[in-house]
Every structure is written in structure tokens, then in C-alpha cells.
Amino acid sequence: MSLEYAILGFLNYRPFSGYELKRVLDESIHHFWPADQSQIYKSLSRLADRGLATVEVIAQEDRPNRKVYHITQEGRKEFLQWVGRTPDSEELRKPFLIQVFFAGMLSDEEAIAVFEDKAAELRGVLERYAAIDDSPTHGEKAGVPPRERFFWYLTLECGTWAMQRELDWLEKTIERIRNKEYEAGPRILPPPQSKES
Amino acid sequence: MSLEYAILGFLNYRPFSGYELKRVLDESIHHFWPADQSQIYKSLSRLADRGLATVEVIAQEDRPNRKVYHITQEGRKEFLQWVGRTPDSEELRKPFLIQVFFAGMLSDEEAIAVFEDKAAELRGVLERYAAIDDSPTHGEKAGVPPRERFFWYLTLECGTWAMQRELDWLEKTIERIRNKEYEAGPRILPPPQSKES
DNA sequence: CCGATCATGTAAGTGGTTACATGATTAT
DNA sequence: ATAATCATGTAACCACTTACATGATCGG
């Protein structure tokens, strides 16, 4: 569903083939919505079935014909309605937390190792995010107006914030385990301060 | 996969039937891993197929027989290995960010409305988390040792932090749109401070 | 009388992944 | 030689969701 809307969003800029879409999706929304190639093709034909896009077949020799998809009036209407809608409530599945939940079955050292590994992974992701940030796609690309770029940038910023905060939490938690603060029972850290930096 | 490990984790405490599991999963890990009833039954029979659990059929009249699952030696081994393993890298699909990405197609007022709606949703989730926190399951339940409860509590705390931080970000972002800060191009907020409260 | 509780499952469908198939052209 | 680029897709599979089916018992 979400992927279909993302594709519709790009078709709203200009027509695309499936192949082209794979490339632009990879360098735009990949950090919060990795899109598989075969999933893109499926979504495109579904959009065409639903009348939200039309196919223009461009004949080619020596390689398969290109299929260029154009958004339709209904497509544009449906898309714009969707962008302005109140967002669906989010997925909350965090496999890592299952490990945390049962970490009581491990020794302090083993549990800390799990948290450290997780922290290392997050640091890696943060580095990759920083790299995207410096890449031409976010930054000063093409003739994209600043307001548009602002919202593109927000998606990166949101991810970075979330990661950085989770990393902070991991580091504090590792400290707490080191200090055996669990002996006092839970509820050691105050809930994050709502306002206030 | 994750659900299977979660189930294995509970079977490691004591034997359970599918029906019982549905109940305990709902009041323990539901906030980061909602488990569907039919998915639980499937996972249980898969665990039995893989030899990680055995089935004890308890005959009953007037209602279907109960099937009580016991963890096996291999099950216990596989589970303990898994808890201590370095965590898999996480899913990063955030449908909301697709909306943000294309929010440039909306007016300031429409975009702000989307962010406000998202903020309202998060506030709702935070309230529900606070309610879980006060419920007997987290808190001082049963004869569960404090170290165990500490890790249970961590799963809630992690979620709360993440939510609260996303909410902070949303509120700041709404302010920035109101002030039309996008006119200066992106990169307005400094990346979240790494250390420092 | 209605709905909850106990207790199991099947069937169909969604959204996504992994692997495979084809095959010419161009760059290293 | 080899890998990447261009360009399309299918097939099988996976985790999960939604809806359905059965049917007794018990409390409001």
C-alpha cells in the first residue's frame, strides 16, 4: 500500500518506467522504505489495473520494450487525498525488544554484549545516514525548490534523531546494568523529560 | 521468526497451550510485538515440527482437547543461543515518512495538520504506555525477581523514549513550518546532541 | 437472550523477499 | 574474461492479518 503511494508520488512529478523507479526510490526513500524491484513491478501493474496510471509501451530492439507509466487524473486525485490524510498508526514490531525482554536469562556480561552489539549497529546506521546527508540527493540537488527539499530532508532528520536517541538510551542502559541498578527493581530513569533540552 | 523465539522464551518458563499463550503475550510483549492468535497456533506447530517443543494432549469433553506445549532440550539450547546473539538489524519502514517526503505538495496548513494528527496519535500511544506501566504486569507483579522485571521494564521504557522523542521532533518541526524556515533551505536544526541532556 | 470464556484451527489474501530467467551492450 | 547497465518479469516462499467455523458453559 505505502509503496504504491510512494510510486504514485513520483509519477506525479513525471512518467517513469519500473526500472527507472527502482533507481530513484533507492536514492530517495530507501532509508525509510527499501523497495524491492519485483515489488515495484507488481505495484505498477496494480496501479494500472486500478486506473491510477496508464502504460505507454516504447518498442525497443535487442532488449525488452520499456513500459513507461503515466499518472492519471484519478491517480493524482487519490494521491493528493492520501498525502493530506491523517497518518495511519505505525507498526511497532521491534525484534530487538524480544531479546531485551528475555535478557534476564543471560548474565550481566552477556546482556551487556547484546546491548553493545546493538549500539554498534546503530552507530553504523548513523554513519550511513550522515553519508546520505552529504550526498547530492539531499542537499542542493537539481532545481528542486527549497520547500520541497526541506520536506525531503525532514525524513532523514527524523531517522537520525530516532537513532541517536535510541543509542543514548542503550548507552545509559548499559551503564545501569554495569552498576547493577536492577537490584533496586525497575523504574530507575525518570521518564524522558517532555519539554526541556 | 521473532514470534517463535518469543514463544520459546515463555515455554522456557513453563508449559503453555496456544490459548494461554495468546493471553500472556497480550499482556507482556504486545506493545512491541502484537501476536495474532492464528499466528501463535502456526508457530507452535512449527516449533513442534522442528523438535524444539513437544505436545501433550489433554483430553477434554464438550470442548476441544487442550494441547500443552513443552520446550525440549534442543529448544532451550537454541533459545538461549538466540537471546545472546548479536541482534538482527531492524526494519526501518515508516509509512509516515512517505507522507512527509511528499508533504511539499501540500500547503503549509495542510502539512501542519498532518503533523498535528501524527502528534495526536503519538500522545495517545504514550498514554497507553503509561497505563501499561501502572498495570500489575509491569510493576510489582508476582514473585518475579527484580532483575527479570528490570529487563521487562526496559522494553516499555525504550518504547516510551522513542515516542517521546519523535513527539518532540514533530512539535519542533511544526514550529519550523509555521515560521516558514524552509525558505532558507534544509538543515535548520543541528543534529541531535550526542551526549548532554 | 447475549456476550464472554474456553479451545482449536482453516482459508484466503496482503505485502514483501529471494532466486531465477532472458539477453544484448558497454566498460574494465 | 567479467561485471555492470539496461529492462522486463515469474515462481516460490514467508510472516502476518482477517474472517470464518465449531460448540459447550456461565454470568449479567
Question: Read out DSSP for B12-80?
Answer: TTS-EEHHHHHHHHHTTTTTT----HHHHHHHHHHHHHTTSEEEEEE--SSSPPEEEEEE-HHHHHHHH
In angstroms, the CA A6 to CA B102 distance is: 8
Tell me what the mean pLDDT of segment A67-74 comes to: 96
Tell me what the mean pLDDT of segment A127-154 comes to: 81
Strands of the B53-58 sheet, one edge to the other: B16-17, B66-71, B53-58
- Checking if the pLDDT of B197 tops 50, the result is no
- Checking if the pLDDT of B194 tops 60, the result is no
- Checking if the pLDDT of B183 tops 90, the result is no
Q: Which three cell numbers stand for residue A82?
A: 492520501
In angstroms, the CA B67 to CA A56 distance is: 57
* Residue A193 · residue B161 · CB < 8 Å: no
In angstroms, the CA B97 to CA A87 distance is: 10
How many Å is the Cα radius of gyration of chain A? Answer: 22
pLDDT, one tens digit per residue, over B34-55 is 999 999 999 999 999 999 999 9
Distance in angstroms: CA A57, C1' D3: 29
Distance in angstroms: CA A23, C1' C27: 20
Least confident of A94-103, A137-146, B17-26, B113-122: A137-146
Give yes or no for A178 touching B (CB within 8 A): no
* Residue A102 · residue A110 · CB < 8 Å: no
What residues in A contact B112, CB-CB < 8 Å? none
Tell me what the mean pLDDT of segment A169-177 comes to: 97
Residue A128 — φ and ψ, nearest 5°?
-65, -35
> Architecture of domain A2-83 in CATH?
Orthogonal Bundle (1.10)
How close is the nearest chain B Cα to the Cα of A55, in Å? 23
Q: Where are the domains of chain A?
A: 2-83, 95-184
Q: Which three cell numbers stand for residue A162?
A: 530516532
Tell me what the mean pLDDT of segment B170-178 comes to: 97
The predicted pLDDT at position B137 comes to 61
Label residue B90 by pLDDT band (50, 70, 90): confident
A65 touches strand D (CB under 7 A): yes
Higher pLDDT: B30 or A195? It is B30
Give yes or no for B172 touching A (CB within 8 A): no
The predicted pLDDT at position A9 comes to 97
Tell me what the mean pLDDT of segment A21-40 comes to: 95
| CB count in 10 Å sphere of residue B14 | 10
Tell me what the mean pLDDT of segment B178-195 comes to: 72
Higher pLDDT: A83 or A135? It is A83
In angstroms, the CA A88 to CA B122 distance is: 11
